[in-house]
Amino acid sequence: MRVISGTARGRSLKAVPGSGTRPTTDKVKEAIFSMIGPYFEGGVVLDLFAGTGGLGIEALSRGMDKGIFIDIEKKSLEVIQDNLNSTKLAGQAEVYRNDAARALKVLAKRGIKFDLVFLDPPYRMKDADELVSSMEQLGLLASGATIVIEHDANHTYEQQIGRAIQFRRVEYGDIAVSLYACDADHAKDEKEEETRT
């Protein structure tokens, strides 16, 4: 695994020991960023089931101002911190050990709004939509925020979750990526573009 583009391009990323964490492959990561970026002019990113931190680090490398990384596993937090240090992005990041739902409540108290959210929970979990709804209710989503849900290809999320509208769903083998925008016009434009191509 490595950082594909931006300021930390080419830097290798450590993996979390054991088989409990399934990092996003470079191929899928590159595809995700070509659909949502590929580069950013600032903003705040949330990597909620961070694992290695690869998605959030890629977003920082490509221009996001700040990243918040959350994971429940202690060994994941150590790997995320190592990866942030090696990419020289630690100064733009906060790393916390917490359960996803609880973490959202803590972040809401700080009044943070996210421009980009990565949800890559363990595949047995199929409640990413509930987390998106919770983020909206807690006021954590900026206007025009993009949400990326990585999940089992056999599972399908609704086209709309609150004000988040799905503008793309792609499959890579047994992995699916569902992309949402909290801005109906953006989602509509993407859908029309997809229809034309």
Question: Three-state SS for 78?
Answer: helix
Cβ atoms within 10 Å, residue 85: 12
Mean per-residue pLDDT over the chain, rounded: 91
Element (H, E) at 77: helix 74-86
Instruction: Name the residue with tokens 């056999």.
Output: 154
Domain ranges of the chain: 26-181
pTM above threshold 0.85? yes
Residues 178, 157: contact at Cβ < 8 Å?
Answer: yes
CATH class of residue range 26-181:
alpha beta
Per residue in 14-25, pLDDT tens?
Answer: 999 875 667 788
Element (H, E) at 161: strand 160-161
Per residue in 80-116, pLDDT tens?
Answer: 999 999 999 999 999 999 999 999 999 999 999 999 9
CA trace torsion 175, 181, 186, 188 (10° rounding): 70
Whether the per-residue pLDDT at 197 is higher than 60: the answer is no
Per residue in 146-190, pLDDT tens?
Answer: 999 999 999 999 999 999 999 999 999 999 999 999 975 544 444
Whether the per-residue pLDDT at 193 is higher than 60: the answer is no
Instruction: Name the residue with tokens 């690869």.
Output: 54
